Structure 1
Amino acid sequence: MKGMDFKGYVNASHNERTDSASTTRTWPMKSQHIATITPLRASIIVFDAVIASTPIMFIALALIAARLDGKVVSDYGHKLEQTLLLSPTIFPIMFAALMSRCFKHVGLFMAERGTTLGRLDQLAGCQSLFSAIERQMALRSWSVIGFLLTMVWFLSPLGGQSALRLLETETKAQRTVGTYQYLSPLASQDSFLMGASSINSGRSTFTSLFLTALLSSTKYQNTSMDLWGNVKMPLYSSITNSTSGEKQHVPSPSQANITYASLIGIPVIDVPTTGLSSYNIRARQWDVTCSSNKEMSWNATNFGNLTTTWKLNSTSTSCDNYPCELSLKSVDSSQNFTVAECGVSYGYYEAGISCDGSLCFASSMQKLDLISDGYTQAYDDFTRSNIRRGIMTSLPRVDNFGVADAGARGSTYMERWMIDPIDFIGARYDNVDLWKLSTADMAQRLTILFNTFFQSTYATTALGGSLPTNLTSLADASPFLTFNTTTAHVTNTSTLVYATRWKWFSTLLFASIVLQIAAYAGLVLKYMTLAPDIIGYASSLTLTNPYTPGPTGGTTLNGLERSKLLSDMPVRIGDVRPGDRVGVVAFARADLGLVAGLRRGRVYA
């Protein structure tokens, strides 16, 4: 050993591995300061600071996920979900790297200032959950610190799994306020019933619409919407006897049979096909009440010419106030006549409409002042005279207008519908006995016919729903169409939104904050500690070891620097006193012939 030139050994070994003199590593033979700041060390500090800041990424992910709670699913959220899928892999890796560095530098810091070997070994060896538990058991050190070190490592899998479960999607009711358009009640001012000439010009239109609604009534009479998808208004008198303006509740169609004022509904535009919505619409409707209904002879009825099988008459040509007098006369099966004495009124109502998607129904009704919202007294006078008279003369002749001998065909569809709304379709060639109806049934069914026929005479192009985007242009068109705006409260139940799982959010945030504190603590302690980092390196076993002789100096080298310079030194753990009766196990150089192999039968000190 005396003739060994260790510097020559190191340099010779290195020169065998490289051809460049510029990269030759030399042993530090001169004394030097420790922990000096050099450009290389400064760059390492910056790199370490960046690495120590990586837990901020997981804190940011947790906070972003918290902000997405309750928000509608979006591409931004989808990208966040894809990022979170990587967290169970990335988080444990970063946790192991940063937490083990922290424990290592805490141990080195304590070693510089003085600590116990057991505590140092516990900190330096705490590199994973398993090693933390192993050190606890091997050292028999059941302390609070040891328990906390073990618990800290449980945060590694918890943090990764919590990130994976942090964000989910769920269906949530989203409430918004929308605007719908519905047919204005003032559209009736352009009815075909305004005069004889307009009745004749519109006869083919209102005849087809009215009979279509009537003949399909076996399916749509008790539904909340007509066959074109327009929402129907209940008959106000059927849900209450009150004449006040208080709002009246309308039972759900699934809970009770609702009597609707007409077989034709009110067109409403922009109703979505999904979600729940509620809004109000206004409309005017006729209401017939009857005081008597009986059978009378031909002579007693003054029926006149048999141009139709039933007639609607009035004892006076004018009506100054509601209800206006109305007399129904109908040929019965015995060639006598049904005579019902009734009165007809006109009212203005507001209905609260509830929709489930595009399926809508009236949920409440309220009576309003008739003369309001642009409907003047002058036009009401016109309605009581011309419009009412037009309905009375045209309704009984809808399906037999121009027929030479109307009586030979038997009762009309309207009469057959009044006696039996379920079974009335087809050629029968007989007459029905309307006098058998109660006054309430007579009034109610005549009301439905009155309103259905009236609605078939105006705004006919709006019933099918095929309307232009610019509804205001229809106000100047023929037929005259105007639409009112109503505010709708919409609840969309099919909206997918993000839901942050707060227990997993708390777990991830806590684990990330603990990791961040540990990372910065390890960073600060690393550069506060003057002692070189020699803990945990095999090369540190050569430091002042008599069995691994080397040059003096080099005590400022850290473990990696020493390993780099001594990387070609052959070493062995063996018996350094093979000739003695009791052997000694040590870490020694293997190229000097000073160490022998270990044997099972040999005794060692």
Structure 2
Amino acid sequence: MESRADQGPLLNTGLDDSIAPSQDPRNSRSARRVSSLSVIGEVLLDLLIAVSCAYFIVFAVLVYARRNQPIEQPGNRDLIEAAKYTPTIFPILFSAVVAKFLKAIAAVKLEHGTSVLAIEYLLQSRTVFSTFMAPITLKTINVLTPVLFLLWALSPLGGQAGLRVISTQESFSNATQNFTYLAFVSPFSNNGVGSASAEPLVPINAIFTAAIIASAKTKNLPQDQFGNVKVPVYESLSPEDGTDWRSVPESDDVEWSSLTGLPIHNLPSTGVSRFTMNTGYMLTSCNTSGHDWTEDYRQSLEDYIGWSGANYALSPNRVDQFAITNFTFRSLDLLPASSPAPEGKILTVANCTVGMSYVEVQIKCDGQTCHSVAVRPSPNPASHPLNYSHSALSVTDWTPINGLGQEDIMYTQFFPDFTNATNPTVGCDTVFCPPSAIEAYLADPANTVLQTSTTKLWGLGDDIISKRFTQLINTYWIDSIAPAAVSGNFTVAPQSNLLLYNTDSTFGTVTTSQVVVKCEYPWLALMLLCSIVLFIIGVATVVLSARRRGPDILDRFSSLLRDNPYANTVPHISSMEDAADQSKRLGDLMVRLGDVRPEEDIGYVAIGVLDGKQAVQKLSVKRDYA
């Protein structure tokens, strides 16, 4: 036989089954009553937990109530922030409530009488993992199994629903807006150099020169350096089947009618604006040729009307409402003084005709960043003719520089002003003049600042010369009629009597977007289901706990000592004592799961008290136990 040293005292080998706990009336207690302070305290605690479950219902209701509201509205960001914690908080609270609920059911069923298997099933199903393990450990499946599976499935679903029930999305709204823009056909308001009305020529020429010498990137953008919207040349765009609208590509390869765009009034700083401008531009068509030239004839070039004192002359024909606008452009090919004498056809002669093209332009602006979307010929040209002004010219031949929309004859100074805009008559001898910005632009729009010589312009061809003259003439026209407006001071009612430009208006739409709260309805329904079930379980726990009459003996080790014949030395208070109170009272009591019949051939395993009055030997692999 093995040694029993250090295996506990061996004082008794049997127990008297008739021994029962003391029934001292002084320690007797009544059954649990709802009115008792301990029950009230427990019910209040359970009620507090149940009320906390209602948080998720309130959260779901708030998400639904605040759907489609701006995210910046007070409280909405807090809802989104709170949703981040739901996957953590919901499963924790769900586990606590359901575990307490299952224990409360087990306690009530135990008082009413039920099977051991039912009690074990309830007690072993108080966590997700133990619920799935209970059928395996108990080796049975009953009606509770699928119910408990479904119940615990609500825990992760509710947590994820709380996270996914709320999100954000962009909401769009449309409003009608009136847009006012500069009318291309407006009065020309100065009488040339030396006149009383010539004061605006300084800013006009400055704006014009700035547009010419701007970077190639700026020239290719759909807006000029002041944010004005450029109008594309309709004739340069690719036609489309079934419509006279032609799309404007978003690439840099767009032929703009002018380097200066049209200013727009009442353009909001936010939102997407869409409207259609009814406007126009002058279109130049040139026939270019090259001619021989000798220095002997240089001085005679100054005799041409419009000679600027530089290397070219621009000679217009009659400029009135009874003649189509034509002009002849003559330009010398120049090389630096140190270069050999030029040879060949160094004189460019371009005979050009100027007409009008009226278009409707669809404009789209994101905030104040705008671009032309599509263009078509205008069915109702915005020609702004004066009632007392008439012309036998067609609508395409009558232009602002031959009297269209003009109250007087100031427009006859357009070509002289244009010719001298970038190259005044001073500072240049008769031997060599550096090319002006206009000449440089005609030669190479991407390199207008550092040119010290000009190329044979006639070699560029009719199309290129026509295109560049179109841009130059329209640019100077827009800069001349409204220098303050194009430089950022566009008002509907001009304040200066010297600059009475016309305006046109159109109605468009402004689409504004804002980030709003988005409610995901499938997840909302799932969250409400999980939250309501959780709240009902919490309330049911309150009711079940209040209905329990006996002590709380489930789920406590001290319950194993209750009425245990091998622990009869444990001080007894009352059979109504809760297991938690008993555990606290017997906290220092030494117990052991061991052999309570060590002297017999076959031992017996039970929990006994190590108080020296009863033998509780350690279990051994060398003994058998009943």
Task: Give me the TM-score of the superposition, normalised by structure 2.
Answer: 0.71
1:50 is matched with: 48
Whole-Å Cα distance in 2 between the matches of residues 181 and 193 of structure 1? Answer: 31
SS of the residue corresponding to residue 192 of structure 1 reads coil
Give the partner amino acid of 1:259. E
What are the Cα deviations for residues 495-542 of structure 1, in whole angstroms up to 9, with x where unaligned? Answer: 777777788767655544443333233333333444544323344445
Give the partner amino acid of 1:318. D
What is the 5 A alignment of 1:546-565? 546=565, 554-560=574-580
Distance 1:238 1:519, change over 3 A: same
- Paired residue for 1:518, among 518, 527, 537? 537
- Paired residue for 1:206, among 204, 207, 216? 204
1:123 is matched with: 122
What are the Cα deviations for residues 381-436 of structure 1, in whole angstroms up to 9, with x where unaligned? Answer: 55286254222343233345445989766786545644665677667688966598
Whole-Å Cα distance in 2 between the matches of residues 590 and 68 of structure 1? Answer: 65
Whole-Å Cα distance in 2 between the matches of residues 512 and 463 of structure 1? Answer: 62
Whole-Å Cα distance in 1 between the matches of residues 331 and 585 of structure 2? Answer: 124
Deviation at 1:48, TM superposition (A): 1.7
- Quick check: 2:185–2:404 contact (8 Å CA) kept in 1? no
What is the 5 A alignment of 1:277-288? 278-288=274-284
Distance 1:137 1:226, change over 3 A: same
More helix by share: 1
Deviation at 1:123, TM superposition (A): 0.8
Deviation at 1:65, TM superposition (A): 5.4
Distance 1:437 1:602, change over 3 A: closer
2:371 paired with 1:361: yes
Deviation at 1:136, TM superposition (A): 2.6
Which of 202-211 and 173-182 deviates more? 173-182
2:131 is matched with: 132
SS of the residue corresponding to residue 47 of structure 2 reads helix
Give the partner amino acid of 1:185. A
Q: Structure 1 unaligned segments of length 5 or more: list them.
A: 11-25
- Paired residue for 1:262, among 258, 261, 272? 258
Q: Structure 2 unaligned segments of length 5 or more: list them.
A: 1-15, 294-299, 334-344, 390-402
- Quick check: 1:27–1:565 contact (8 Å CA) kept in 2? no
2:27 paired with 1:27: yes
- Quick check: 1:223–1:253 contact (8 Å CA) kept in 2? no
Deviation at 1:232, TM superposition (A): 1.0
2:540 paired with 1:537: no
SS of the residue corresponding to residue 199 of structure 2 reads helix
Distance 1:455 1:580, change over 3 A: same
Which of 114-123 and 142-151 deviates more? 142-151
1:596 is matched with: 616
What are the Cα deviations for residues 64-99 of structure 1, in whole angstroms up to 9, with x where unaligned? Answer: 556777766557455445544544553343222211
Whole-Å Cα distance in 2 between the matches of residues 119 and 145 of structure 1? Answer: 9
Distance 1:414 1:368, change over 3 A: farther
Deviation at 1:151, TM superposition (A): 5.6
1:451 is matched with: 474
2:245 paired with 1:248: yes
Task: Give me the TM-score of the superposition, normalised by structure 1.
Answer: 0.73
SS of the residue corresponding to residue 452 of structure 1 reads helix
What is the 5 A alignment of 1:430-441? 437-438=461-462
Distance 1:397 1:384, change over 3 A: farther
Distance 1:352 1:578, change over 3 A: same
Deviation at 1:451, TM superposition (A): 1.2
Whole-Å Cα distance in 1 between the matches of residues 283 and 407 of structure 2? Answer: 13
Distance 1:88 1:209, change over 3 A: closer
Distance 1:526 1:351, change over 3 A: same
Deviation at 1:252, TM superposition (A): 0.9
Give the partner amino acid of 2:27. W
1:230 is matched with: 228
Whole-Å Cα distance in 2 between the matches of residues 425 and 313 of structure 1? Answer: 27
Give the partner amino acid of 2:538. A
Whole-Å Cα distance in 1 between the matches of residues 487 and 179 of structure 2? Answer: 15
Distance 1:198 1:253, change over 3 A: farther
Deviation at 1:139, TM superposition (A): 1.6
SS of the residue corresponding to residue 200 of structure 1 reads coil
What is the 5 A alignment of 1:78-117? 78-80=77-79, 82-117=81-116
- Quick check: 1:310–1:331 contact (8 Å CA) kept in 2? yes
Distance 1:409 1:126, change over 3 A: same
